[in-house]
Amino acid sequence: MNPESQLRPYPTRRSLLKTAATAAVAAPLLSACVTGGKKDDGEAVATGAKTADNPLGVKADAPLEVVVFKGGYGDEYAVKAESQYTSKYPQAKVDHKGLQKVGEAIQPRFVAGNPPDVVDNTGAGRLDIATLVAANQVSDLAELLDAPAFDEPGKKVRDTLLPGVVEDGTFAGTTVALNFTYAVWGLWFSKSFFAEKGWAYPATWTDMLALCATIKKSGVAPWTYQGKYPEYINDPLLGMAAKTGGLDLVKAVDNLQPNAWKQDGLVQAATAFAELAGKGYLMSGSEALSHTEAQAAWCQKKAAFIPCGSWLESEQKGIAPAGFDMVMGAVPGSAGDKLPVAAVQAASSESFLVPAKAKNPAGGQEYLRILFAKASAKAFAEANSTLPAVAGATDGLTLSSGLGSVRDAVTAAGSGTFTYRFRTWYAPLAKAVDDATGELVNKRLSPADWATRIQKAADALAKDSTVQKYTR
Residues 191 and 105 in one domain: no
Query: Residue 237, class by beta-carbon neighbours within 10 Å (0-12 exposed, 13-18 middle, 19+ buried)?
Result: buried
pLDDT digits (tens, 9 = 90+) for 124-162: 788 989 889 999 999 999 999 999 999 999 999 999 999
Evaluate whether 243 touches 333 at the Cβ level (below 8 Å).
yes
How many domains are there within the chain? 2
Domain annotation covers residue 469:
no
**Number of other residues whose CB lies within 10 A of the CB of residue 157:** 25
Q: Pick from 407, 397, 384: which is nearest to 314 by CA?
A: 384
Residues 175 and 205 in one domain: no
Mean pLDDT for all residues in the chain? 90
- The pLDDT of residue 23 is above 70: no
pLDDT digits (tens, 9 = 90+) for 57-75: 999 999 999 999 998 789 9
- Looking at residue 361, its pLDDT comes to 98
Q: Pick from 169, 258, 201, 249: which is nearest to 418 by CA?
A: 249
Pairing of β 178-190 and β 344-353:
antiparallel
What are the backbone angles phi and psi of residue 250, rounded to the nearest 5°?
-60, -45
Residues 312 and 456 in one domain: yes
Cα–Cα distance between 462 and 460 in angstroms, integer?
Answer: 5
pTM of the predicted protein model: 0.80
Share of the chain above pLDDT 70, in %: 91
- Looking at residue 41, its pLDDT comes to 52
**Number of other residues whose CB lies within 10 A of the CB of residue 414:** 11
pLDDT digits (tens, 9 = 90+) for 261-292: 999 999 999 999 999 999 999 999 999 999 99
Q: Mean of the pLDDT values across residues 459-465?
A: 97
Residues 316 and 369 in one domain: no
pLDDT digits (tens, 9 = 90+) for 376-390: 999 999 988 889 999
The pLDDT confidence band at residue 163, using thresholds 50, 70 and 90, is confident
Residues 269 and 380 in one domain: no
- Whichever domain contains 173, its CATH number is 3.40.190.10
- The pLDDT of residue 37 is above 70: no
Residues 388 and 282 in one domain: no
- The pLDDT of residue 12 is above 50: no
Residue 244 CA: distances (Å) to CA of 17, 235, 239, 264, 334 = 24, 14, 9, 8, 7
Domain annotation covers residue 108:
yes
Q: Is 329 helix (H, G, I), strand (E, B) or coil?
A: strand
Residues 60 and 96 in one domain: yes
Domain ranges, residue 131? 3-180+350-392
Residues 60 and 195 in one domain: no
